[in-house]
Amino acid sequence: MAEGLLRHDGAGKFVVESAGIAPSFVRSEAIEVMREIGIDISSHRSKSLDEFMTTPFDWVITVCDNARQNCPVLPGPARQLHWNLEDPAAVEGDVNTRLDAFREARDELRQRLREFIADCG
């Protein structure tokens, strides 16, 4: 979701990549809640950090403590930000409960990313 939000709200000011330490798939709930705000991430894929080990970054943003603790050092002078967000994929319950968790994560990510965009200005 963060990749889709930063691409959209950053309006082309950023080259954005997203990866995880244990990639799997883009959750259908994430696709749905992003569609609700007019952002299509249905073509996104879950990528491994291994794909980017030789890519220099200006910024690395981690969004959970597990990623922060297990993220390898990436090349270059990347500045790091860490936001410990609740993992909506870990929420159990019916479809509405899961969608609500993804909406909360989406909205918190969007707020933080908009502040990041403004600060990078």
**In the chain, what are the domain boundaries?**
2-109
pLDDT in tens, the chain (121 residues): 999 999 999 998 999 999 887 778 899 999 999 999 999 999 999 898 888 888 888 898 888 766 556 666 666 788 888 898 998 999 999 999 999 999 999 999 999 999 999 998 6
Assign domain 2-109 to its CATH architecture: 3-Layer(aba) Sandwich (3.40)
With b for 16 or more beta-carbon neighbours within 10 A and e for fewer, the 91-101 pattern comes to beeeeeebbbb
In angstroms, the CA 25 to CA 44 distance is: 9
pLDDT of residue 71: 61
Q: How do strand 79-82 and strand 59-62 relate by DSSP bridges? A: parallel
- How far, in whole angstroms, is CA 60 from its chain's centroid? 11
pLDDT of residue 102: 97
